[in-house]
Amino acid sequence: MVGYVIYGRGSFNQLDEILTPRRQAGGRQGDAPMVFLVDHFFEHQPLAQRIPLRGRDKIVFVDVTYEPKTAYVDQLAGELKQEFGTVSGIIGIGGGSAMDLAKAVSLMMTNPGSSADYQGWDLVKQPGVYKVGIPTLSGTGAEVSRTTVLTGPTKKLGMNSDYTPFDQIVLDPELTADAPVNQRFYTGMDCYIHCIESLQGTYLNEFSKSYGEKALQLCQEVYVKKQGWDEDSDDKLMMASYAGGMSIAYSQVGVAHAVSYGLSYLLGTKHGIGNCIVFDKLEEFYPDGVAEFKKMVEKNKIDIPQQVTKGLTDKQFNAMIDVSLVMKPLWENALGKDWEKTMTRERLRALYEKL
Ligand SMILES: NC(=O)c1ccc[n+]([C@@H]2O[C@H](COP(=O)([O-])OP(=O)(O)OC[C@H]3O[C@@H](n4cnc5c(N)ncnc54)[C@H](O)[C@@H]3O)[C@@H](O)[C@H]2O)c1
Ligand SMILES: [Fe+2]
């Protein structure tokens, strides 16, 4: 779990105070810097000016055009090791992509080899350097989860480990205020889908249920009950993301995630929108959730892309199916221990063809 959590409008202003006791001596020139990995969207935004730089601290604007790849993580960690030897901490500021990059780079500052070697469950053996997550979009739960999702040479799979969670997170709903409506919806639905998949999964327990129910209720208030968007929506969705992430931390996601990983691996479809494309077609698995999802799509006037797999070759369908079936815990959570008997390649192919 995340060690320290701070929540509230304007809490970003406390970042300097939060980092000060974590600054360490060491590195090539005596002081090990803090390195801020910031979503490139903020390069020319006022937020970049508010980052509390000291000494040799550095801001790296990270490219999140594509979701994080193992090669990019290795490159970032390699450059930092070369420039500084060691750093005091890595602070990720942005959506799920920038936060995941920060988690992975922190781990690769201390673990040998390539981040691709650690895609899986509990393969990371060393704690990373101190790491802080500061979300600017709400929904992924990456701020609390024990994974960082990476696309590697052969698979799209996270570095799931006890060393992956942030040491500190700063939840400031003001930072999400200017997110584009569509993006905010897709990322918000990631949270909604986490809740449904967790609450309807076979891994469910009271811990996951307690958080999942609260997150679901907050999502419903924001997307079903409220008219329009205001500060209260940002406040609620940030806590929904947190609670939704806590819910899956002790259970798992399900069919939508397992299928959308394949889509993203082959077509580069982003996580939030990919989950929406898939969830839209999952009535047979999550009838109530999908019915409510369709209502939210309509009420919020969002377009969900259709026919994205039209015209793909057998080889391409097989590539997606292969990636999806690697996600064994997700399928087991969704369908139970005997999932391999019911989720055949043919059935999965038919599902991909519907998207
Ligand atoms: N680690 C986990 O547990 C976990 C869980 C779910 C998803 N993820 C990962 O999170 C990523 C998806 O994250 P996401 O949906 O937050 O989107 P994202 O981080 O990919 O960002 C989407 C777009 O929004 C922009 N953006 C970010 N904040 C903004 C703001 N405040 N205003 C305007 N634009 C802004 C970004 O520059 C980018 O163009 C995927 O890589 C996915 O694999 C991780
Ligand atoms: Fe997700």
Q: How far apart are the CA of 28 and the centre of ligand 1, in A? A: 33
Q: Could you tell me if residue 120 is left (phi over 0), alpha (psi between -120 and 50 degrees) or otherwise beta?
A: left
Q: How far apart are the CA of 26 and the centre of ligand 2, in A? A: 37
Instruction: Specify the pLDDT at position 154.
Output: 82
Residues with Cβ within 8 Å of 26's Cβ and at least 6 positions away in sequence, in order, are 32, 85, 86
pLDDT by residue (tens digit) across 282-318?
999 999 999 999 999 999 999 999 999 999 999 999 9
Position 80 pLDDT exceeds 70: yes
Within 6 A (CB) of ligand 1 lie 39, 41, 64, 67-68, 94-98, 100, 136-137, 140-142, 145, 147-149, 176, 178-180, 183, 187, 190, 270-272
Position 29 pLDDT exceeds 70: no
* Residue 65 Cα: closest atom of ligand 1: 39
pTM here is 0.95
- HSE-CB at 326 with a 13 A cutoff on CA atoms is 17
Instruction: Specify the pLDDT at position 288.
Output: 97
Confidence of residue 25 (pLDDT cuts 50, 70, 90): confident
Instruction: Specify the pLDDT at position 112.
Output: 97
Residues with Cβ within 8 Å of 183's Cβ and at least 6 positions away in sequence, in order, are 137, 272
Q: How far apart are CA 247 and CA 198, in angstroms?
A: 7
Residue nearest to atom 22 of ligand 1 (CA): 95
Instruction: Specify the pLDDT at position 193.
Output: 98
Q: Which two tokens stand for residue 20?
A: 């000060």
Position 26 pLDDT exceeds 90: no
Q: How far apart are CA 201 and CA 223, in angstroms?
A: 23
Confidence of residue 156 (pLDDT cuts 50, 70, 90): confident
Tell me if 243 sits within 8 A of 215, measured CB to CB: yes
Instruction: Specify the pLDDT at position 28.
Output: 64
Q: Which two tokens stand for residue 88?
A: 């005091």
Instruction: Specify the pLDDT at position 40.
Output: 98
CB atoms within 10 A of CB 332: 18
Q: How far apart are the CA of 63 and the centre of ligand 1, in A? A: 11
Position 13 pLDDT exceeds 70: yes
Find the mean pLDDT for residues 227-253: 95
* Ligand located closest to 39 CA: 1
